[in-house]
Amino acid sequence: MRIAVLDHEDEEALSNAMAGLGHECHSYTEGRILLQDLRRQTYDLLILDWVPPDISGIDLVKAVRNELKSRLPILFVANQCEDADVIEGLNAGADDFMTNPARPNELEARVNALLRRSYPAQHEEELVFGDYHFYPPARILKVKGVKVDLKNREYELALFLFQNLGRMLSREHLHEAVWGVGVEALSRSLDTHVSRLRTKLALRVESGFLLLAIYGLGYRLEVVEAQSLSR
């Protein structure tokens, strides 16, 4: 998963813990920079310092929820955790709250719980999206009962897009999810793979799923409503 961590006091500890669990972690020391990046970048989880140096944690969460209209799971980490702080944080839109220094086992358990609740489809043996049936253990995709011949990265990209239906996914996020961190790809590789998937999976209006390019940002796979199909 792609995780953003904001912790100006001890960013390395949290970032290293997330990296040790196999996540791609992006560290921030200023809340306003994180908020600015969230307008162009996509993450799967935010871990936020309760008292950032430039903007309050509460105001940051409210901006994520109200200005960006994002339902991204948010975990607050605070040096002191009073009941009133927990209530205020959760009411502002945070999903969980824990104290610093974060105990590795507790941090892992809370992060995993948030990810399971936020992305339940990623933990199933079979994933069904209309006529599209994914079988992750076997890395097989069937459309209307017929197996589709996909190369490894085509399958990974298709699965990731369907697992994130309706989400705008930045180009960087998609690249990391399919090619991995630190792996260079040709500049047009992502666009080429997207084009192939549109053709192989018939991701057009009549299929019930439409793969859109968001200019300058990334891609989004959308569900097409029944009324749109009947027009």
* DSSP label of 121: G
Q: How far is CA 144 from the centre of its chain?
A: 28
pLDDT tens string 159-213: 999 999 999 999 999 988 888 765 555 457 899 999 999 999 999 898 999 999 9
Count of alpha carbons within 13 Å of 141, Cβ hemisphere only?
Answer: 22
Q: How confident is the model at residue 57 (pLDDT cuts 50, 70, 90)?
A: confident
SS3 127: strand
pTM metric for this prediction: 0.70
Residue 160 and residue 177 in contact, taking contact as beta carbons nearer than 8 Å: yes
How high is the pLDDT of residue 226? Answer: 53
pLDDT tens string 210-226: 999 998 899 999 998 75
Q: Give 176: exposed, middle or buried? Use CB within 10 Å, 0-12, 13-18, 19+.
A: middle
Residues of the chain with CATH 1.10.10.10: 123-229
pLDDT tens string 6-21: 876 655 778 888 888 8
**What CATH architecture does domain 2-118 belong to?**
3-Layer(aba) Sandwich (3.40)
Residues of the chain with CATH 3.40.50.2300: 2-118
How high is the pLDDT of residue 227? Answer: 46
Cα(194)–Cα(202) distance, integer angstroms: 11
Token pair of 204 as six digits: 């057009």
Query: Helix 189-200 vs helix 171-179: angle between axes, to the nearest 10 degrees?
Result: 80
> Cα angle vertex 114, ends 108, 80, to 5°?
65
Q: What is the 3-state secondary structure (H, E, C) of 173-220?
A: HHHHHHHCCCCCCCCCHHHHHHHHHHHHCCCCHHHCEEEEEECCCEEE
Cα(125)–Cα(127) distance, integer angstroms: 7
CATH no. of 123-229 = 1.10.10.10
Cβ within 8 Å of residue 17, ≥6 positions away = 102, 104, 107, 108
pLDDT tens string 121-131: 655 778 999 99
Q: Which residues are paired to 47 by β-bridges? A: 5, 75
Other Cβ atoms closer than 10 A to 111 = 23
- Percentage of the chain exceeding pLDDT 70: 90
Q: Which residues are paired to 158 by β-bridges? A: none
